[in-house]
């Protein structure tokens, strides 16, 4: 039985700032959950950040939903199993990242009680996952080129460039000239409209692996129009908030690739359903990232061990994000792969001395 739940929010500075079409950040604020049950402690992190820039959720909304709905329900219904948890929480509309944060902690708990690595319980089949890297918008082409060269040397198997209107085709033509053969993709983070269709047609010339989320964060229809107009595969990120949206998008022909983020879709169970559906429709998937700390990254690595995660994931080395992470393990690339931890549960151990030292909020909830 779950006796206690702890929530903390920590402030963790990024090694280098990260700029997307929705803004530049220098640090992350990460909501962490610890769940105590029968002598075992399970962990998770929420995909939310301080501000609602990627989606409408942020740490404050996640905290509100956790405190007012999810934690009381968990205690009242004596829930511990993630499948029961998802069912009993389904009355809450949206707030996928809040739901996912708790579901993931329950998965870590379940795996630890079974004495097994989480990825095995999830049906994972790999010892290493393909590592790609997402590079933010930079001030100059020289700076961007230098970073790309460094990332290629480090062994990343795909380079993803963030773009936005005014910082797109010029960057792409220049980078393609310097790196003709590399596996390259772009992520627009919803910065364009269907009126930009000619611009995306122009991008076909750059032989991109995919164009991620060109249009509005909640759009499915106009992406189908755009995909019909261009040769390059569209990959949806923001728009795919669950299984229903995934099937809508694939039925409509809005994309040919899906980026699965556990937080965005509301947990592992939903992510697995999307994975299985995509496999049945021959839609390749890959695991997206939200600049997670080591706790969130451990869950992403476990997810990416599923068989249909065939494209490079946004799962990079620890040192690409943090000079000091909050776990006892450093994720590193070897031959283009990130190794899967083999310990029980998420397989990594949080450093609570460090976590306490960077906490800006903490609260305990008792049964």
Q: Which residues carry out catalysis?
A: 162, 261
Provide the minimum distance between the beta carbon of 105 and ligand OSB in the complex, in angstroms, as a whole number: 20
Segment contacting ligand OSB by CB under 6 A, of 75-83, 91-99, 105-113, 287-295: 287-295
Provide the minimum distance between the beta carbon of 112 and ligand OSB in the complex, in angstroms, as a whole number: 25
- Alpha carbon 349 to chain centroid, angstroms: 20
- 10 Å Cβ neighbour count for 275? 24
Q: Are 156 and 333 in contact (CB under 8 A)?
A: yes
Strand locations in the chain (E): 2-20, 23-37, 40-45, 128-130, 133-135, 159-162, 184-187, 211-212, 234-236, 257-260, 285-287, 333-334, 337-339, 359-366
Segment contacting ligand OSB by CB under 6 A, of 78-86, 105-113, 245-253, 288-296: 288-296
Among residues 108, 308, 314, 317, the one that binds ligand OSB under rule CB under 6 A = 314
Closer residue to ligand OSB (CB): 308 or 314: 314
Binders of ligand OSB among residues 188 to 247 (CB under 6 A) are 189, 237
Provide the minimum distance between the beta carbon of 233 and ligand OSB in the complex, in angstroms, as a whole number: 16
Q: CA-CA distance, 168 to 203, in Å (whole number)?
A: 9
- Strand duo 23-37 + 2-20: pairing: antiparallel
- 10 Å Cβ neighbour count for 87? 13
Closer residue to ligand OSB (CB): 196 or 367: 196
Rounded to 5 degrees, φ, ψ at 123 are 90, 20
Location of structure tokens 């697995």: 272
57 near ligand OSB, judged by CB under 6 A: no
Among residues 168, 237, 292, 308, the one that binds Mg ion under rule CB under 5 A = 237
Binding site for ligand OSB (CB under 6 A): 54, 134, 187, 189, 237, 288-291, 314, 316
Binding site for Mg ion (CB under 5 A): 187, 212, 237
């Amino acid at each position: 039985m779950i006796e206690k739940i702890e929530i903390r929010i920590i402030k963790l500075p990024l090694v280098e700032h990260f700029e997307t079409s929705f803004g530049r950040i220098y640090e992350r604020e990460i909501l962490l959950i610890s769940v105590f049950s029968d002598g075992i402690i399970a962990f998770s992190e929420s995909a939310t950040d301080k501000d609602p820039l990627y989606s409408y959720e942020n740490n404050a909304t996640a905290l509100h939903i956790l405190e007012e709905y999810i934690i009381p329900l968990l205690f009242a219904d004596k829930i511990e199993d993630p499948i029961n948890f998802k069912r009993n929480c389904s009355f809450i509309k949206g707030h996928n990242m809040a739901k996912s944060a708790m579901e993931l902690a329950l998965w870590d708990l379940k795996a630890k009680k079974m004495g097994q690595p989480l990825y095995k319980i999830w049906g994972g089949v790999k010892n290493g996952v393909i590592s790609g890297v997402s590079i933010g918008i930079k001030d100059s082409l020289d700076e961007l080129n230098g970073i790309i060269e460094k990332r290629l040397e480090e062994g990343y198997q795909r380079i993803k460039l963030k773009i936005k209107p005014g910082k797109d085709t010029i960057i792409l033509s220049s980078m393609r000239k310097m790196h003709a053969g590399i596996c390259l993709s772009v992520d627009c983070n919803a910065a364009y409209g269907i009126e930009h269709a000619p611009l995306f047609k122009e991008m076909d010339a750059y032989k991109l692996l995919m164009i991620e989320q060109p249009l509005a964060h909640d759009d499915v229809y106009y992406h189908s129009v755009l995909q019909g107009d261009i040769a390059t595969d569209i990959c949806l990120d923001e728009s795919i908030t669950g299984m229903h949206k995934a099937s809508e998008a694939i039925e409509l022909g809005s994309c040919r690739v899906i980026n699965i983020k556990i937080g965005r879709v509301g947990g592992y169970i939903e992510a697995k359903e999307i994975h299985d559906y995509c496999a049945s429709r021959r839609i390749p998937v890959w695991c997206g990232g939200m600049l997670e700390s080591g706790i969130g990254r451990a869950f992403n690595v476990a997810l990416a061990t599923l068989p249909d995660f065939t494209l490079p994931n946004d799962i990079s080395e620890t040192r690409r994000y943090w000079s000091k992470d909050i776990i006892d393990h450093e994720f590193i690339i070897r031959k283009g792969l990130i190794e899967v931890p083999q310990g029980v549960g998420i397989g990594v151990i949080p450093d609570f001395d460090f976590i306490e030292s960077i906490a800006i909020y903490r609260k305990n909830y008792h049964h």
